[in-house]
Amino acid sequence: MSRITIVYSLIILFSIFSCQEEVKKKPVAVEPEWTQMNLESDFQSIEIFQKYDTMIVRTWELKDTIAADGKSYRITTNRKSMIIPIDVTSKDSLYQFVNKMVSEPVITEKYASCYAGSLSVCLQYNNTELCCNYSSVGTWTDISESTKSISRILRRFTKINSQ
C-alpha cells in the first residue's frame, strides 16, 4: 500500500468517527438529603433531625400577648422540653408529608377568629429552608390530608396540640 492510500484511508476513518453524533445523557435529578424538619403550632414545636433517632418536643402555655410596633409578641409560661425516640420509617413518612406541604401548599378556606390555630412547617436542606405557614385556621390537624397524616404519625410518639 502506498502512503497516499494510507493517508486517504486514515482521513476517511477519521471523518467517519468524528462525524458521529455524541449522545449526551440527561443528568438525573437527585433529591437532596433533608437535614431537619420543624413543625410549630401555637403551643408546641417539634424538631426532627435526619441523622438522629430522636425528636425534640417543646410545649408551652400562653400567658399573654403584647402588641408593639405592628408586631405581636407572645409571653409564654410553663415551658417543657422532651427528647422522644422516633424510628426511621416514621421519619421517612413524615418527610414525605411535610415535603408535600411545602412543595404543594394547600390554600385552605378554614378561618378561625381571634387568630386561633397556626402551623408552620419547615424543611431544611443544609443551608436552604422551605416553609409553609398557616394562621387563623383553628385546628391545624385537618387542614389537608397531609396534616391529618402528620398528626396521626406524631400521636404515636407524643401528645399533639392541634392549635
Q: Is 7 helix (H, G, I), strand (E, B) or coil?
A: helix
- Work out how many domains the chain is built from and give that number: 1
CB burial of 63-91 (b: ≥16 within 10 Å; e: otherwise) equals eeeeeeeeeeeeeeeeeeeeeeebeeebb
In a domain, 1, yes or no: no
In a domain, 9, yes or no: no
- Residues 62 and 141: their CA atoms lie apart, in Å, by 20
In a domain, 13, yes or no: no
In a domain, 163, yes or no: no
Tens digits of per-residue pLDDT, 37-78?
Answer: 999 988 899 999 999 999 999 998 877 778 788 777 778 788
In a domain, 27, yes or no: no
Whether this model's pTM surpasses 0.85? no
Gyration radius of the chain's alpha carbons: 27
In a domain, 145, yes or no: yes
Of residues 142 and 1, more confidently modeled? 142
At 21 the pLDDT is 57
> What is each CA distance from 73 to 52, 113, 120, in whole angstroms?
32, 18, 16
- Residues 39 and 133: their CA atoms lie apart, in Å, by 10
In a domain, 66, yes or no: yes
Tens digits of per-residue pLDDT, 80-138?
Answer: 999 999 999 999 999 999 999 999 988 877 666 666 778 899 999 988 999 998 887 77
